[in-house]
C-alpha cells in the first residue's frame, strides 16, 4: 500500500476493554500509549483512561509520536433520541477537532445487544422499522453536515449486536444517507456476521468509495462457531477469543489491502482486536500485528 496515503494506528481496547473494564484494569494510560509507540504505531483511538482535556492529552501523545485518529461515538436516532444525540455529538466532535482528528466513527446503538447477556447470533438483534431507518438516515445526514463544517467526516461503524450489522443492513444504510456520510469498514465484524472471507470482501468492494476509516481485526472461526452453538453473548465471545490481531487468525488480509490500494484509499488503518489482556499480552500482540502489516501491506 502507498505509505504516503495510509497510516497505521492501534486501538487501546487491547489494553483495557471499555465495555468490560475489568479486562486490563491494571494497564495504565501511559503504559498503553508507550507500548503503542514502541510497537511502531503512530496513531490511536481514544479509550476510557485517556484524559479528555486536549491541553493534557496532546503533549503526552506528542512525546511518543502518537496522534488521535478517531473515537467511538454512540448514536440513538432510531430510538428517537435525536436532540440528545446531537448535543453529545457536538461536544465529542469539538474534542476530536481539537486533537486534530479528521474522522468521527459512530455506531447506531438503539436497541443494541452488544453489551448484554443475550446471544449475539440469536433473534434478539434489533431490526429497524422503516420509520426508524428514516430517523437514522436524517440523523446521520445532520451529523455529516455538522462535521463537514469543521473539515471532518462522519462514518458508520457496522457492529455485531446492532441494527446495522449485516451486509444487507449496511447496504440499506449507505443507500439512505447522503454523500457526506461514510463507512467505517471493520474486517472482524464483517467476517463475524457474514461467516466468510468472500462475504467480508464483498462488503468492502461494494462500498469502497465510501470507506474513510478501516478497523483491522482478525477472527478465530472456532470461537465464533462456539458463540453460535452455545448461544453466547458478544462480550462472552470476546472473553473467549473471538477476535485477535491481523496475522493471528483466519483472515488473509492481502486481498483487503489490494482492494484498498487499488481504490486509492487515503486514511488510517487501525488494529482493533479486543482480547483479554491476561491471555493475550497487548504489547506482544501489537508487535505481532505491526510485523504482519509490514510484511503484507508494505507499510
Q: Give me the CATH number covering residue 117.
A: 3.20.20.150
What 3-state class would DSSP assign to 290? helix
Q: Sign of torsion, CA 38 104 24 56? A: positive
Distance in angstroms (rounded) separating the CA atoms of residues 277 and 262: 35
Q: How confident is the model at residue 2 (pLDDT cuts 50, 70, 90)?
A: confident
The per-residue pLDDT for range 166-183, each reduced to its tens digit, is 999 999 999 999 999 999
Cell 507499510 locates to 299
Average pLDDT, the chain: 96
Residue 158 lies in a domain: yes
pTM: 0.96
Q: How confident is the model at residue 82 (pLDDT cuts 50, 70, 90)?
A: very high
Q: Which helix H or strand E contains 277, and what residues bound it?
A: none
User: In this model, does residue 19 exceed pLDDT 80?
Assistant: no
More confident residue, 263 or 48: 263
Residue 1 lies in a domain: no
Do 219 and 192 contact (CB within 8 A), yes or no? yes
Amino acid 16: pLDDT = 83
Q: How many domains does the chain have?
A: 1
Q: Residue 150's domain spans which residues?
A: 6-296
Q: How confident is the model at residue 24 (pLDDT cuts 50, 70, 90)?
A: low
Cell 490481531 locates to 245
Distance in angstroms (rounded) separating the CA atoms of residues 284 and 132: 43
Do 281 and 26 contact (CB within 8 A), yes or no? no
What 3-state class would DSSP assign to 243? strand
Amino acid 123: pLDDT = 94
Distance in angstroms (rounded) separating the CA atoms of residues 55 and 64: 15
For the chain, state the CA radius of gyration. Answer: 18
The per-residue pLDDT for range 123-152, each reduced to its tens digit, is 999 999 999 999 999 999 999 999 999 999
Residue 119 lies in a domain: yes
Residue 213 lies in a domain: yes
Q: How confident is the model at residue 226 (pLDDT cuts 50, 70, 90)?
A: very high
Amino acid at each position: 500500500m502507498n505509505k504516503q496515503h495510509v497510516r497505521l494506528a492501534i486501538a487501546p481496547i487491547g489494553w483495557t476493554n471499555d465495555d468490560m473494564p475489568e479486562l486490563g484494569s491494571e494497564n495504565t494510560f501511559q503504559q498503553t500509549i508507550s507500548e503503542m509507540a514502541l510497537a511502531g504505531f503512530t496513531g490511536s483511538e481514544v479509550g476510557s483512561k485517556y484524559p479528555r482535556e486536549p491541553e493534557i492529552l496532546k503533549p503526552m501523545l506528542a512525546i511518543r509520536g502518537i496522534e488521535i485518529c478517531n473515537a467511538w461515538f454512540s448514536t440513538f436516532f432510531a430510538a428517537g433520541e435525536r436532540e440528545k444525540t446531537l448535543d453529545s455529538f457536538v461536544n465529542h466532535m469539538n474534542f476530536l477537532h481539537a486533537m486534530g482528528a479528521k474522522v468521527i466513527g459512530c455506531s447506531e446503538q438503539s436497541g443494541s445487544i452488544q453489551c448484554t447477556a443475550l446471544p449475539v447470533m440469536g433473534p434478539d438483534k434489533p431490526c429497524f422499522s422503516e420509520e426508524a431507518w428514516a430517523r437514522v438516515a436524517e440523523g446521520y445526514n445532520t451529523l455529516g453536515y455538522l462535521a463537514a463544517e469543521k473539515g471532518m467526516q462522519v462514518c458508520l461503524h457496522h457492529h455485531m449486536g446492532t441494527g446495522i450489522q449485516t451486509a444487507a443492513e449496511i447496504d440499506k444504510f449507505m443507500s439512505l444517507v447522503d454523500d457526506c456520510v461514510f463507512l467505517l469498514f471493520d474486517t472482524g465484524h464483517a467476517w463475524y456476521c457474514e461467516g466468510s472471507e468472500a462475504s467480508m470482501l464483498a462488503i468492502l468492494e461494494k462500498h469502497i468509495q465510501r470507506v474513510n476509516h478501516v478497523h483491522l481485526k482478525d477472527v478465530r472461526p472456532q470461537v465464533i462457531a462456539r458463540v453460535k452453538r452455545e448461544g453466547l453473548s458478544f462480550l462472552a465471545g470476546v472473553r473467549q477469543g473471538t477476535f485477535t490481531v491481523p496475522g493471528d487468525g483466519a483472515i488473509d488480509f492481502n486481498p483487503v489491502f489490494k482492494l484498498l490500494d487499488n481504490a486509492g484509499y487515503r486514511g488510517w488503518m487501525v488494529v482493533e482486536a479486543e482480547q483479554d489482556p491476561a491471555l493475550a499480552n497487548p504489547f506482544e500482540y501489537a508487535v505481532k500485528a505491526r510485523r504482519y502489516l509490514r510484511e503484507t501491506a508494505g507499510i
